[in-house]
């Protein structure tokens, strides 16, 4: 019996080893995947999308040799919901709590759920996330001085180096894997979004200490001369320096590429730029006529260039799929007096579209998307309707990954469109910004809203109208002609379709 058990165990081990070798061998024929996810970059913010007051040579080069999309979308007009949808393949409106999170929020994605990272890891990929996270950490009441979990590692990433939330929210530290990077245990961190902790100065009480003043909100604990949202004390040695942030996270991203070059890898590089506070490194400060907002666009382009250069340095370019996009549309004044409004000039961050970040109009979710893969992608401009919620199913289709029925409920495999091999992508798309809208072909329905129509703090139309809105976005890109009264049958059709998508809990077959 002992001998039989031994042989069974040995046979099982050999089979497992053989399976692992098969997975790795299959993965070796698949591309590396680098997803560069910028923050608050609008459709019109890059040179390859028409910008002239800021130079983006690296992104322009990426677009010139790849596919540049003109009808690509984030699934939401704000960051946390878009990031949730991107990683899970589920529309964020289905997830309770999927809104812009405070810096001490618990992990929004439940461990064990299929994500892009966990799916690709099962296919033999090494997976890493570097940069802005903003999906919560831990299970609530995080102890920033100990082990911080669950987090990215519990969602399928092998390595993580993240900004917990945003640059304008505490805690102003990096978290590497499960711990705050560079923390001195003798100087413990305390964080609160309810009441002041410690005796740190605040922007509200000590404006004389600020080098950048808030335009609205953002008047709590001062870190690096900038007041933030939320209160923090301690962790002095671990605190980031804003003007070095792009260098730090880009260095971590290129380091991950070097360390992973012997096997297929997936890198999710979520830049902080061009989110507020906009504090460019001195190499970029003053490089554009648009002040800090323009300068951090140039800095973002440099980050992309560094990643591309590392890929080329490691002789990986031919078989690396590089995707660049943004989490939502643009915003000019988002809480700090950084001259973004005064120096905008004729630059149009949303391009020809209406609205911006926070808005249900097209500029809220219609964002830049560039796909480049020298071995397979030919230069093109694509009008296909695609969404970041599709990345999960598309990457699965590309790599042979199998999605369980309950995974990626709204994610479609549109990889042929992403690679420029098909002219059409998905035939409908739900967009989210408080209220919901539905794109089907060139028609766009916006459901009636109950909130404010305009956000005076950011000077953006939100699109919340008490009546339904219907636009033909092919001939009316700025959504100026509400056709709901002329086409009541189309309003009824799209309303019924959207209600079914909402009630079904999924849209993927």
To the nearest 10 degrees (0 to 180), the angle between helices 79-88 and 391-399 is 30
Determine whether 123 is exposed, middle or buried from the number of CB atoms within 10 Å of its CB (0-12, 13-18, 19+): buried
The superfamily CATH assigns to domain 25-189+234-426 is Alkaline Phosphatase, subunit A (3.40.720.10)
Nearest Cα neighbor of 444 from 352, 356, 357, 366 is 366
Nearest Cα neighbor of 353 from 335, 329, 388 is 329
Q: How many residues does the chain have?
A: 509
Q: Distance (Å, rounded) from C-alpha 7 to C-alpha 321?
A: 43
The pLDDT tens digits along the chain (509 residues) read 445 554 555 555 555 555 555 555 555 579 999 999 999 999 999 999 999 999 999 999 999 999 999 999 999 999 999 999 999 999 999 999 999 999 999 999 999 999 999 999 999 999 999 999 999 999 988 999 999 999 999 999 999 999 999 999 999 999 999 999 999 999 999 999 999 999 999 999 999 999 999 999 999 999 999 999 999 999 999 999 999 999 999 999 999 999 999 999 999 999 999 999 999 999 999 999 999 999 999 999 999 999 999 999 999 999 999 999 999 999 999 999 999 999 999 999 999 999 999 999 999 999 999 999 999 999 999 999 999 999 999 999 999 999 999 999 999 999 999 999 999 999 999 999 989 999 999 999 999 999 899 999 999 999 999 999 999 999 999 999 999 999 999 999 999 999 999 999 999 98
Given a contact cutoff of 8 angstroms between Cβ atoms, the answer to whether 207 and 196 are in contact is no
Instruction: Note the pLDDT of residue 9.
Output: 52
Given a contact cutoff of 8 angstroms between Cβ atoms, the answer to whether 75 and 82 are in contact is yes
Instruction: Note the pLDDT of residue 29.
Output: 72
Q: Is the peptide bond before 274 cis (omega within 30 degrees of 0)?
A: yes
Instruction: Note the pLDDT of residue 6.
Output: 47
DSSP state of 379: P
Beta-carbon count within 10 A of 15 CB: 10
Q: Distance (Å, rounded) from C-alpha 368 to C-alpha 274?
A: 14
Q: Distance (Å, rounded) from C-alpha 46 to C-alpha 296?
A: 12
Q: Which residues pair with 270 in a beta bridge?
A: 37, 131
CATH code, residues 429-504: 3.30.1120.10
Backbone Cα Rg of the chain: 23
Backbone angles phi, psi at 293, to 5 degrees: -65, -40
Q: Distance (Å, rounded) from C-alpha 41 to C-alpha 363?
A: 10
Given a contact cutoff of 8 angstroms between Cβ atoms, the answer to whether 300 and 162 are in contact is no
Given a contact cutoff of 8 angstroms between Cβ atoms, the answer to whether 290 and 238 are in contact is no
Backbone angles phi, psi at 4, to 5 degrees: -65, -45
H-type helices in 366-459, by residue range?
Answer: 391-399, 415-418
DSSP state of 28: H
Nearest Cα neighbor of 171 from 219, 227, 230, 213 is 230
Nearest Cα neighbor of 201 from 242, 233, 167, 229 is 233
Q: Using a CB cutoff of 8 Å and minimum separation of 24, what contacts does 339-344 make? A: 339/291, 339/292, 340/278, 340/290, 340/291, 340/292, 340/293, 341/459, 342/291, 343/289, 343/290, 343/291, 343/293, 343/294, 344/290, 344/293
Determine which helix (DSSP H) or strand (DSSP E) holds 251, and give its type and residue range: helix 245-260
Per-residue 3-state assignment (H helix, E strand, C coil) for 334-376? CCECCCCCCCCCCCCCCCCCCCCCCCCCHHHCECCEEEECCCC
380-382 and 67-69 as β-strands: parallel, antiparallel, unpaired? Answer: parallel
* Sheet-wide strand order for 320-326: 179-180, 175-176, 159-163, 126-132, 265-270, 32-38, 320-326, 369-372, 67-69, 380-382
Given a contact cutoff of 8 angstroms between Cβ atoms, the answer to whether 365 and 73 are in contact is yes
Given a contact cutoff of 8 angstroms between Cβ atoms, the answer to whether 63 and 48 are in contact is yes
Start-end of CATH 3.40.720.10 domains in the chain: 25-189+234-426
DSSP state of 378: P
Start-end of CATH 3.30.1120.10 domains in the chain: 429-504
């Amino acid at each position: 019996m002992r001998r039989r058990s031994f042989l069974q165990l040995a046979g099982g081990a050999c089979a497992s080893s053989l399976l692992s070798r098969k997975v790795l061998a299959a993965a070796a024929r698949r591309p590396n995947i680098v997803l560069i996810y910028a923050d608050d970059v609008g459709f019109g913010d890059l040179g390859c999308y028409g910008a002239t007051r800021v130079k983006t040579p690296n992104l322009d080069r990426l677009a010139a040799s790849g596919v540049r999309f003109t009808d690509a979308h984030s699934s939401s007009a704000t960051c946390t919901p878009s990031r949730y949808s991107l990683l899970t393949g589920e529309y964020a409106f289905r997830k309770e709590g999927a809104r812009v999170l405070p810096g001490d929020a618990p992990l929004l994605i439940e461990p064990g759920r299929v994500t892009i990272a966990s799916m690709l890891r099962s296919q033999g990929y090494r997976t890493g996330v570097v940069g802005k996270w903003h999906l919560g950490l831990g299970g609530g009441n995080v102890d920033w001085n100990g082990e911080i979990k669950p987090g990215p590692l519990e969602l399928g990433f092998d390595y993580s180096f993240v900004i917990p939330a945003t640059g304008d929210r505490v805690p102003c530290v990096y978290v590497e894997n499960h711990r705050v990077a560079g923390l001195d245990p003798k100087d413990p961190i305390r964080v609160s979004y309810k009441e002041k902790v410690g005796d740190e100065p605040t922007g509200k009480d000590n404006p004389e200490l600020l080098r950048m003043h808030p335009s609205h909100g953002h008047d709590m604990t001062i870190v690096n001369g900038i007041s933030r949202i939320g209160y923090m004390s301690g962790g002095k040695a671990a605190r980031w320096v804003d003007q070095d942030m792009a260098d730090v996270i880009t260095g971590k991203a290129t380091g991950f590429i070097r360390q992973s070059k012997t096997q297929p890898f997936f890198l999710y590089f979520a830049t902080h730029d061009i989110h507020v506070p906009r504090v460019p490194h001195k190499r970029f400060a003053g490089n554009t006529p648009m002040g800090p907002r323009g300068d951090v666009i140039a800095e973002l382009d440099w980050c992309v260039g560094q990643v591309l250069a590392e890929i080329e340095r490691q002789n990986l370019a031919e078989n690396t799929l590089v995707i660049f996009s943004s989490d939502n549309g643009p915003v000019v004044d988002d809480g700090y007096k950084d001259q973004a409004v005064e120096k905008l000039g004729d630059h149009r961050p949303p391009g020809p579209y209406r609205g911006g970040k926070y808005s249900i109009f097209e500029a809220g979710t219609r964002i830049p998307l560039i796909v480049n893969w020298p071995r397979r992608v030919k230069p093109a401009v694509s009008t296909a309707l695609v969404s970041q919620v599709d990345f999960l199913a598309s990457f699965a289709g590309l790599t042979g990954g199998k999605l369980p029925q309950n995974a990626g409920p709204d994610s479609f495999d549109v990889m042929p469109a992403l690679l420029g091999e098909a002219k059409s992508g998905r035939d409908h798309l739900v967009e989210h910004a408080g209220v919901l809208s539905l794109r089907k072909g060139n028609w766009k329905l916006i459901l009636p809203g109950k909130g404010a129509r305009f956000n005076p703090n950011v000077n953006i139309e939100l699109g919340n109208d008490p009546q339904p809105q219907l636009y033909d976005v092919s001939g009316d890109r700025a959504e100026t002609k509400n056709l709901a009264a002329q086409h009541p049958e189309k309003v009824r059709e799209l309303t019924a379709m959207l209600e079914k998508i909402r009630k079904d809990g999924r849209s993927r077959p």
